[in-house]
Amino acid sequence: MDEPNPTASTIDQDEFCLRQRVLVIDDEAAIGAGIKRCLVPAGHEVDAFDRSAHGLTAAINGHYDVIFLDLMMPDMGGLEVLRRIREAAVSSEVVIITGHSTVETAVEAMKLGAADYLAKPFTPSELRMVLKKASERSRLIRENAALRQELELQQGFEGMIGESRAMQNVFALIKRVAPTDGTVLISGESGTGKEMVVRAIHRLSLRRERPLLACDCTALAPSLLESELFGHVKGSFTGAVATKRGLFEVADGGTLFLDEVANLSLETQSKLLRVLETRMVRKVGDTAEREVDIRLVAATNRDLMSMAREGTFREDLYYRLNVVPIHLAPLRERTGDIPRLAMVFLERICRKNQVGIRGFTPEAMTLMESYRWPGNVRELRNIVERMAILCDADRIEPRHLPPEIRSCRPLAEVSQLPRTWKEFREFKQKAREAAVEDLERRFLLDALRESGGNVSRAAEHVKMQRTQFHALMRKHGLKADLI
């Protein structure tokens, strides 16, 4: 590398780039020393290693913005180091430097994820230009990732909101099972969002261009339900004035959702089992069978395994349905999701009704987190809508809450301990989540007060991305102009 220009240390920062953490891995110690002399006076932090193994360890653990990597080194080649850096999911931008520049090695390095290519000998201005390009690319990638994270926090996963571990596990299962044709059984109490899981599975599946049809197994008498599912021929029963296609036929190539499958009669269960085993369906009153291609998703709020032991649900059908089980935890077991859900519902309702409510007071949110929500997410959404319509202030206060929620005491005020171990575990989880939520809120408030309500300054002070800090503010219903 040529000697740096003596005026390099006075270069205008706007013409260069923001301060970067730089790593140099090159068996020629003079290269690392020269890059340091050029970049350190401009405010950059530079570490250099002349052994591949030592440099690789630093690259994986050091959180660098840009890595300058020599292609030809004796102990481990640069391409191999680059492969290992990418396998370790290191987000640093990598610039290949070498005295053996060829098109083939450049192309191979780019395929492995290198951001740029710099041939020896290079001048300080060339080095600065490559660093500027790499750091700009790194900044754009980080900003895009932060924007994607913020968008997911705003809109949720396929419309579903949940930051708790229970919901993150559900989202991970949906992502894995959706592209397959595996039968899914969704369990959970009423109001937990089972139908939203079905819609997410269908949208992410290979069948998304085909129909998604739903059947409520509690809505029809057994004879009519069979006709709804399998179809019937004209004259097969009183009132069958025309031949009808069933949902299995109509949903051919798509997804069929059976809601509250526990309510199927044993006779209908038997016919459903046959369809699942043969992929053939026969209309009521017909002798011919027709092949169907559907992906079945079932849901229930009851314990099908217990029903099978009692003889009210076929055990063989249970195992046919329970290929991939997805359980939705009740809202009382994921109280950390309540503030975020409540704010999302409130924002949607305010936009729809043109209402100017800013959020919830801390006291109101504490009471909402202490309530057990027997109707789960559906109940929370309906109550938030009611409060938004009736609220006479700019924020929802305890007096706006329904009596059943106002009467709840925060966990810290509970004097009577649970009576069973199961109740105690639920109590302990709720207490832990409530404590963490309270600390998180206080942490945000303190940072905002220190910065005079300036969100950017507060985020910088606590060393957080501004988008992440903003997302947490929305989760807790905080507004900078109210601090």
Taken in order of first residue, the domains within the chain and their CATH numbers are 6-149 (3.40.50.2300), 165-329 (3.40.50.300), 333-482 (1.10.8.60)
Question: What is the spatial distance between Cα 117 and Cα 277, in angstroms, rounded to a whole number?
Answer: 58
Mean pLDDT over residues 8-14, rounded?
37
Q: Lowest-pLDDT range, 36-40, 132-136, 189-193, 334-338?
A: 132-136
Q: What is the pLDDT of residues 145-187, one digit of tens each?
A: 555 555 454 556 767 888 888 999 999 999 999 999 999 999 9
Question: What is the spatial distance between Cα 143 and Cα 10, in angstroms, rounded to a whole number?
Answer: 29
Q: What is the pLDDT of residues 463-482, one digit of tens each?
A: 888 888 888 887 776 766 54
- Quick one: pLDDT at residue 15? 40
> Which H/E stretch holds residue 341?
helix 338-353
pLDDT at 418 over 80: no
Phi/psi for 161 (5° steps) reads -100, 130
> Which H/E stretch holds residue 171?
helix 165-177
Mean pLDDT over residues 75-86, rounded?
86
- Quick one: pLDDT at residue 164? 87
pLDDT band at 270, cuts 50/70/90?
A: very high
Q: By the 8 A CB rule, do 161 and 187 touch?
A: no
Between 386 and 111, name the one with better pLDDT.
Answer: 386
Question: What is the spatial distance between Cα 315 and Cα 324, in angstroms, rounded to a whole number?
Answer: 16
How many CA atoms does the CB half-sphere of 363 hold within 13 Å? 9
Q: Six-digit token pair at 352?
A: 């729809």
Average per-residue pLDDT for the chain: 83
Q: By the 8 A CB rule, do 5 and 37 touch?
A: no
Q: What is the pLDDT of residues 361-402, one digit of tens each?
A: 988 998 998 888 989 999 999 999 999 999 988 899 999 999
Mean pLDDT over residues 398-419, rounded?
73
Mean pLDDT over residues 412-434, rounded?
68
Question: What is the spatial distance between Cα 445 and Cα 455, in angstroms, rounded to a whole number?
Answer: 11
pLDDT at 71 over 60: yes
Question: What is the spatial distance between Cα 115 and Cα 95, in angstroms, rounded to a whole number?
Answer: 6
pLDDT band at 322, cuts 50/70/90?
A: very high
- Quick one: pLDDT at residue 330? 93
Type of residue numbered 140: L
Other Cβ atoms closer than 10 A to 14: 7
Between 14 and 188, name the one with better pLDDT.
Answer: 188
Question: What is the spatial distance between Cα 454 and Cα 464, in angstroms, rounded to a whole number?
Answer: 14
Question: What is the spatial distance between Cα 463 and Cα 317, in angstroms, rounded to a whole number?
Answer: 54
pLDDT band at 259, cuts 50/70/90?
A: very high
pLDDT band at 451, cuts 50/70/90?
A: confident
- Quick one: pLDDT at residue 3? 44
pLDDT at 11 over 50: no
CB neighbour class for 129 (10 Å; exposed up to 12, middle 13-18, buried from 19): middle
- Quick one: pLDDT at residue 14? 40
**How much of the chain exceeds pLDDT 90, in percent?**
37
